[in-house]
Structure 1
Amino acid sequence: MTELDLVFHARRAVTAEGEIACTVGVAGGRIVAVEPFDADLSGGRVVELGRDAVLLPGLVDTHVHVNDPGRQEWEGFATATRAAAAGGITTIIDMPLNSLPPTVDPASLGTKRAAADGAVYVDVGFWGGAIPGKLDQLAGLHEAGVFGVKCFTVDSGVEEFPPLDGAGLAEAFRIAAELETPLLVHAEDHGEIEQAPAAQGDRYADFLRSRPAAAEDRAIARVVELAASTGARTHILHLASAGALGTIAEARRAGAPLTVETCPHYLSFTAEEIPDGATQFKCCPPIREAANRELLWRALAGGVIDSVVSDHSPCTAELKCFATGDFGKAWGGIASLQLGLPAVWTQARQRGFGLPDVVRWMAEGPARQVGLRHKGRIAPGLDADLCVFAPDEAFLVDATTLHHRNPVSAYHGRPLSGVVRGTWLRGVEVTGEQPHGDLLRRTKH
């Protein structure tokens, strides 16, 4: 056997074969052996996991707003990727908006890559953006290696990334189908939101009424129609409304090329528990009621929802308008990159799910969606992206101790289960001292 750089002895590991006791051997940044626990393997470094720890594949988070360059005071590549590693995430895909310029053409992608170069502690890939007046740039973005393109059907919250109207959306679907690149859609219907009461004041119930579930359901129905008629690989972002699940399930049964994600905050929080003025919980689409949350969990169990990703959308404390608690004026986004794994695990275990389920939703599923065949699982030949996780260790979230640039989190003060004790990227432990992440490009798949 090849001389090993690193060996893990794990009484519990979530591998491609399920949860087993095993010994994992690493050489040259790849997993080269998954052997029985008592296998006699030695290497340059041997890691003996305690009985309370589980070896997991590094997670893959395909929905992260790094905001760099241009809004580095919100977040940046160094802080975001350190936070990712601290949360067991070894690969992120950065969203095209909230940075300046947004990633809507090859030149802006080059600017984004230059900002990230040499500053990332985990591997980083990039989505492109589809906005009015720039659809002719999608082919160039695809050729430059983005993993797909994202669009909005409603105001994005930043003026430099406007939504597509009906004709623009149809054209984006046509181009995506022609390029054979995924189209990601933030699906809320502009008309439904225009007819709803405006968001203003500190009452969460009023904010919830301003972003009705009907807006999500109606937009998703249109997206599903376009996916079926064009054949474009389509991904529905941050599903919050359980009302759309029937439409999605029916379309998938009919063969529509459709994948769906949800987020830890939709699986963790409920509208009923959000205090008035608590703008740290504001996001779009919004966190909905407890009954809705349970239907999302049921859809995960049934495979209607494919993955769970953060939608890490941080900002400064000032932009959350804590002084007034005004949901209409506060920035909409939840910072959770470092906390996604324990947040999901805390809720999952209460519902009878195991760590293999969490790995399927947070590592295998996202890696498969973006075509990263060498990530998301523990198996020979794959990248040695690994995480040591103590599932029974509890902690109280203190936002001031997180690696995110700003100490703002909806999870602050919340008890969670599961602590990440170490993360390895291609066989090298991520300590936060020296960045050694790669900038990824799409490969044909």
Structure 2
Amino acid sequence: MAFDLVVRSRRAVTPDGVRPAAVAVAAGRIAHIAAHGDPLDTRAELDLGDVALLPGLVDSHVHVNEPGRTEWEGFATATRAAAAGGVTTIVDMPLNSVPPTVDVEALAVKRRAAAGQCHVDVGFWGGAVPGNAGELRALHDAGVFGFKAFLVDSGVPEFPPLDPAGLDDAMRAVDALFAVHAEDAGRLAAAPRSAAYADFVASRPPDAEVDAVATAIAAARATAARLHILHLSSARAVPQIAAARADGIRVTAETCPHYLTLTAEDVPDGATEFKCCPPIRDAANQEALWRALAAGLVAVVVSDHSPCTPELKRGDFASAWGGIASVQLGLPAVWTRARARGHSLADVVRWMATGPADLVHLPHKGRLVVGADADLVAFDPEEQFVVDPAALHHRHPVTPYAGQRLTGVVRRTWLRGTEVTGDDPRGRLLVRGSR
């Protein structure tokens, strides 16, 4: 047969490791993986040389915010930024859009808003909020990948938190994946109106995460639900996650590039572009997170891309919006720190592509295997660049990475074998169980 495209690389990142290979594409899928030099009948061919060939990353934690807060971010800009960062699949969180995705009608509104705008494939989370347990089964049947819940104020009034009884009710309502923002409201203090980052961090201490993770695990134990801990920032919560898994509880955890690459010691006073919840913590905690990642106790690294308008980032650490926009920068940020610790590109692919795909049950995403979608990334792992906010594709050029020198440049991205240019949105809207 004549393939549509063959991409050759001396560093293809496959499930068997990094090796020379030729990846052949037909009808949007990987049809064959051959030795690097094998002759193949193809309509188009590209040899990347020593530039690495990765599967497209999967980011299961992205806030697109459209509709309702499209001035913060939208599907066109978020997915263009994702593709520029080597991400070919995102799963959109149920807030901060209006309406939030808490029932079937709201999901339909979200899908209509996304239609025809997406440069990468997009799936959707549903939301679990007080009073909507009766909506969850229908929403799950409509194709959401699981349900996000907060145990603390979400920051927007239309998405209130669950108390422990409410989380238990939601988990009993449907057999689904529950992704929990785990901070304990009783442990949080009011952030003082202060320019000092240390004051903000002190208002959201590690014990707030430790206690909330324990609450979520208790609910999963009582209901046999699948539990995923979102954006883990405190390594002190890792031992109880490990113990719960040893007891047979179905619990997983993610962390984010900013927790692995930025430290509290380096946050300048007044630099609210670094504000996120839970917060960026100290260097010792960061090293413990890297150890948890290496041990497989934290298995997923995703962006928690949470942008807003520049105006909402102004002020002090009490009043500024808490969120970091980084979907375009996650791969080079993580690779820069991972390679310095002796990790390989295969490790990064496992954390940022295969792991998130497995979390949301997309077996045809995030891996270079025959039958998978031909979502491909040409990534130069030695090239360096300095982050210029003006070169970012998300809606507002606000980033804590501004001016940082990172290693690793995304050269090209393909979605199902077609190069993503940013001009012709070809992304599909995915539902749970998509093949």
Contact 1:30 1:380 in 2 (8 A): yes
SS of the equivalent of 1:243 reads helix
Cα distance in 1 between the residues matched to 2:219 and 2:291: 26
Superposed counterparts of 1:24-423, under 5 Å:
24-51=23-50, 53-175=51-173, 179-193=174-188, 196-321=189-314, 324=315, 326-423=316-413
Hey, what's the Cα distance between the residues in 2 that align with 1:197 and 1:315?
22
SS in 2 for 1:383: coil
Whole-angstrom CA distance in 2 between matches of 1:141 and 1:243: 34
Residues 75-108 of structure 1, C-alpha deviation per residue, up to 9 Å, x if partnerless?
Answer: 0000000000000000000000010110000000
SS in 2 for 1:43: coil
Question: What's the % identity of the aligned pairs?
Answer: 61
Q: Is 1:6–1:45's contact at 8 Å kept on the other side of the alignment? A: yes
Q: Deviations over 1:300-344 (max 9, x none)?
A: 0000001000000001110001xx4x0000000000000000000
Could you say if the C-alpha distance between residues 289 and 56 of structure 1 is closer, same or farther in structure 2, counting changes exceeding 3 Å? Answer: same
Say whether the 8 Å CA contact 2:362–2:434 is kept in structure 1: no
Deviations 1:345-365 (A, max 9, x none): 001001000000000000000
CA distance in 1, matches of 2:218, 2:433: 28
Sort the Cα spacing of 1:86 and 1:444 in 2 relative to 1 into closer, same or farther, 3 A.
closer
What displacement does 1:172 show? Answer: 1.4
TM-superposition CA deviations, 1:409-428 (whole Å, max 9, x none): 01111110000000000000
- Could you tell me how far apart the structure 1 residues matched to 2:421 and 2:44 are? 16
Unaligned runs of 5+ in 1: none
The separation in 1 between residues aligned to 2:137 and 2:246, in whole angstroms, is 30
CA contact (8 A) 2:164 2:215 kept: no
1:426 maps to which residue?
416
**What amino acid is the match of 2:365?**
K
Runs of 4+ in structure 1 off by over 3 angstroms are none
Task: Assess if the C-alpha contact under 8 Å between 1:284 and 1:332 holds in 2.
Answer: yes
**AA paired with 2:169?**
E
Deviation at 1:197, TM superposition (A): 4.9
Counterpart in the other structure of 2:17: 18
Q: Is the 8 A contact 1:306 1:361 kept in 2?
A: yes
Contact 2:164 2:219 in 1 (8 A): no
Partners in 2 of 1:50 and 1:316 — Cα distance?
Answer: 41
On the 8 A contact 1:197/1:209 being kept in 2, the answer is no
**2:425 aligned counterpart, secondary structure:** coil
For the residues of structure 1 that align with 2:13 and 2:300, how far apart are their CA atoms?
Answer: 17
TM-score (norm 2): 0.99
What is the alpha-carbon root mean square deviation over aligned residues? 1.0
Distance in structure 2 (CA, Å) of the matches to 1:199 and 1:386: 46
* Farther-moved stretch of structure 1 (21-30 vs 226-235): 226-235
Q: Within 2, Cα distance between the matches of 1:318 and 1:129? A: 27
Asked if 2 retains the 8 angstrom alpha-carbon contact of 1:8 and 1:23, the reply is: yes
Which stretch of structure 1 is more off in the superposition, 365-374 or 134-143? Answer: 134-143
2-structure distance, mates of 1:250, 1:149 = 24
Query: What secondary structure sits across from 1:4 in the alignment?
Result: coil
* Structure 2 CA distance for aligned equivalents of residues 262 and 362 of structure 1: 10
Check whether the contact 1:5–1:26 (CA below 8 A) recurs between aligned residues.
yes
**Counterpart residue number, 2:6:** 7
The residue identity in structure 1 corresponding to 2:23 is: V
Q: What amino acid is aligned across from residue 213 of structure 2 in structure 1?
A: I
